[in-house]
């Protein structure tokens, strides 16, 4: 019976640890792209779209465990629309846009405040390995950070002026960042934060999340095994 319990636990771990298929597209970086580094070190299968048209085609095709779309240089209306459709269909996404017009699908609105130079992470899972406040700098953009406010989402980080810097939305299936991927004073902090965001989307189960049926069945099997072992011992 103990062997079955161990096997059940290993199966539970495998569900969370299995490699994921992630689609990534960022239209441009001026500084060093911390999200690109986080994805490269993640151990997951990363597909990088070559341009906006390629990204839209790949999103529409589907089959991704996570879509990451960072719009840092242009409006990219087609890419934003495709990402919004992906999210509306229940897909997981991490998103950034330098224009204050693309947050509605992610449970966010914009305050009009721009180029704020630091934020503090409040969400425990996203704060792993992070030293608050996280400093930002401008590597050459006209706009490199934007203050946000929750609409249907939940704040996970706050800028120094108390505007939201990160918002988690759509039942823990999306994250929107109010800063670009190449703006971290400490690059290691940026990579660590984006690694935490990827893990939050793919591995971590927030306290309010409802377990999948397979997970519940395995957990039940483990409890039954423990109970049977206890009766046998008695």
CATH topology of domain 21-207: Rossmann fold (3.40.50)
Domain boundaries, the chain: 21-207
Residue environment code for 53-76, b if the CB has 16+ CB neighbours within 10 A, otherwise e: eebbebbeeeebbbbbbbbbeeeb
The candidate with the shortest Cα–Cα distance to 31, out of 178, 191, 195, is 191
Question: Within 10 Å of residue 223's Cβ, how many Cβ atoms?
Answer: 12
Q: What is the pLDDT of residues 26-57, one digit of tens each?
A: 999 999 999 999 999 999 999 999 999 999 99
Q: What is the pLDDT of residues 6-21, one digit of tens each?
A: 343 333 333 344 789 9
The predicted structure's pLDDT at residue 204: 57
* Calpha distance 96→70 (Å, rounded): 5
Query: Model-level pTM?
Result: 0.81
């Amino acid at each position: 019976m103990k062997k079955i319990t161990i096997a059940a636990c290993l199966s539970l771990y495998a569900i969370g640890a299995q490699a994921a298929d992630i689609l990534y597209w960022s239209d441009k970086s001026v500084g060093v792209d911390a999200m690109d580094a986080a994805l490269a070190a993640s151990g997951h299968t990363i597909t990088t779209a070559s341009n906006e048209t390629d990204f839209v085609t790949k999103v529409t095709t589907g089959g991704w465990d996570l879509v990451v779309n960072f719009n840092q240089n242009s409006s990219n209306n087609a890419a934003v629309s495709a990402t919004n459709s992906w999210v509306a269909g229940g897909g997981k996404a991490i998103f950034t846009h330098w224009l204050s017009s693309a947050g509605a699908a992610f449970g966010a609105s914009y305050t009009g405040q721009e180029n704020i130079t630091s934020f503090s992470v409040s969400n425990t899972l996203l704060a792993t390995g992070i030293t608050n406040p996280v400093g930002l700098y401008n590597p050459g953009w006209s706009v490199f950070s934007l203050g946000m406010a929750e609409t249907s989402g939940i704040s996970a980080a706050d800028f120094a002026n108390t505007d939201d810097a990160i918002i988690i939305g759509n039942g823990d299936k999306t994250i929107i960042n109010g800063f670009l991927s190449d703006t971290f004073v400490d690059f290691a902090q940026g990579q660590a934060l984006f690694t935490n965001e990827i893990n939050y989307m793919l591995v971590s189960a927030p306290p309010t999340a409802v377990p999948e049926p397979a997970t519940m069945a395995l957990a039940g099997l483990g409890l039954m095994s423990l109970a049977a072992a206890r009766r046998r011992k008695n």
